[in-house]
Structure 1
Amino acid sequence: MFRCLAVLCFAVLLSACQTDQVNRDFDAQRDFGGYRTWAWKEPALQYQPNDPRIKSDLTEQRIRQSVGEQLDQRGLRLAAPGVKADVQVQTWLIVEDRQQLVSTNYGGGGYWGNPWGGYWGGPMGGETRSVNYKVSTLQIDLLDGKDGKLVWRGSTEQVVNDNPTNPIAREQALRKTVAKILQQYPPR
């Protein structure tokens, strides 16, 4: 019973970790208004680890489409083939194992102290468990087309959900994530 409760509490804690927090960084010395065109820096999507269970042409296609749509909404146009773009785009999908210790205390009825020290109460019991889980990070890098230096980066992470979803739900979730990352591009 207590183990089920501990696992349930941890699941709630992990779902709280699925924050909308996006990490962004940029070169404040760059004139982002001067960037008008973009192109993919190949490989457009890099995976860490390079694991065939993670690597997917379908995932890459969804990311490419979502990023392209968001950049278009922000006034950047895909450069014509053979034309050097103002900005090169590269994305990363990083999946890593993490671990969290979860402690559950039970038993005892509390304690009552007195001003001279000492206490009365029942014994306390508890259990600490280690819970393993996976976290995925989607990172979008924008590099200057002239010097190749990183000018803007945005990323967010989520706990990987083992429940399979349908392709439409995956695509919608990815679009939402990419929109969240690029929400504050160009920086003001």
Structure 2
Amino acid sequence: MFPRLLIVPLLLLLAACQNIQVERDYDPNRDFAAYRSWSWQEPALIYSPDDPRLKSDLTEQRIREATAEQLDQRGLRPAAAGSPADLKVQAVLMVENRQNQVSTYHGGFWGGPWGGYWGGPAYTETRTLDYQIGTLQIDLFDGRDGKLVWRGSAQQVLRNNPGNPAERAAAIRETVARVMAQYPPR
């Protein structure tokens, strides 16, 4: 169990060869063109479940850097020290254990064109597969009223081998880029 939990900080390997499900939601009554600055809402990264074995300063640093890069590409600048930000940013890293049952039918009898049957006994084999789903969610809150104005998330099945630190950082950058791809909403 413990080695499986070690892959959680690497859950952001939500890229590469696996299918990533991206979802977005936003408040259509907000003027997103008015948002020019941002800052982190503390805590900047929330882990769910809140397990000390899941938390990683390295993962948090990678998520912060990738998010800041994406916000910068969209014309949002970090708020000056002591100045209120137009947007407050928070990320949530979630891991869920799931199961899937797969049934396979084997054997049975077959009929020939002239009648008669042959074959062996039929049976169904059912296996339970355990896996983990990782989700990275990025929330943007209005700096004045504190209400959620935009949310994006990416979800996928976690790999058992998360790769080296450079691969982890690249996967996080790609995942954050996918999440932020539709900001600002059009």
- The bucket for the TM-score relative to the shorter chain is 0.7 to 0.9
Amino acid at match of 2:131: Y
Amino acid at match of 1:79: A
Separation in structure 2 between the aligned mates of residue 36 and residue 164 of structure 1, nearest angstrom: 35
* Alignment pair present for 1:182 and 2:180: yes
Residue 54 of structure 1, CA deviation: 1.4
Contact 1:100–1:131 (Cα < 8 Å) also in 2: yes
SS of corresponding position for 1:22: strand
Contact 1:26–1:152 (Cα < 8 Å) also in 2: yes
Instruction: Name which structure has the greater RCO, CA cutoff 8 Å, separation 6+.
Output: 2
Q: What are the within-5 Å matches in structure 2 for residues 1-188 of structure 1? A: 18-110=18-110, 120=117, 122=119, 123-188=121-186
Relative to the length of structure 2, the TM-score reads: 0.85
Identity between Structure 1 and Structure 2 (%): 59
Change beyond 3 A, Cα 1:107–1:33: same
> What are the ranges of 5 or more consecutive residues in structure 2 without an aligned counterpart?
1-16
RMSD: 2.1
> What are the ranges of 5 or more consecutive residues in structure 1 without an aligned counterpart?
1-16, 114-118
Tell me the number of residue pairs that the alignment of Structure 1 and Structure 2 aligns.
Answer: 169
Query: Whose helix proportion is higher, 1 or 2?
Result: 1
Query: Whose strand proportion is higher, 1 or 2?
Result: 2
Contact 2:109–2:117 (Cα < 8 Å) also in 1: no
Separation in structure 2 between the aligned mates of residue 173 and residue 30 of structure 1, nearest angstrom: 31
Residue 19 of structure 1, CA deviation: 2.0
Relative to the length of structure 1, the TM-score reads: 0.84
Change beyond 3 A, Cα 1:125–1:112: farther
Once the two structures are superposed, what CA deviation does each residue of 1:120-166 show, in whole Å capped at 9, x if it has no partner? 56432221111111111000000000000000000011211111410
State the partner residue of 2:8.
none
State the partner residue of 1:13.
none
Separation in structure 1 between the aligned mates of residue 78 and residue 84 of structure 2, nearest angstrom: 10
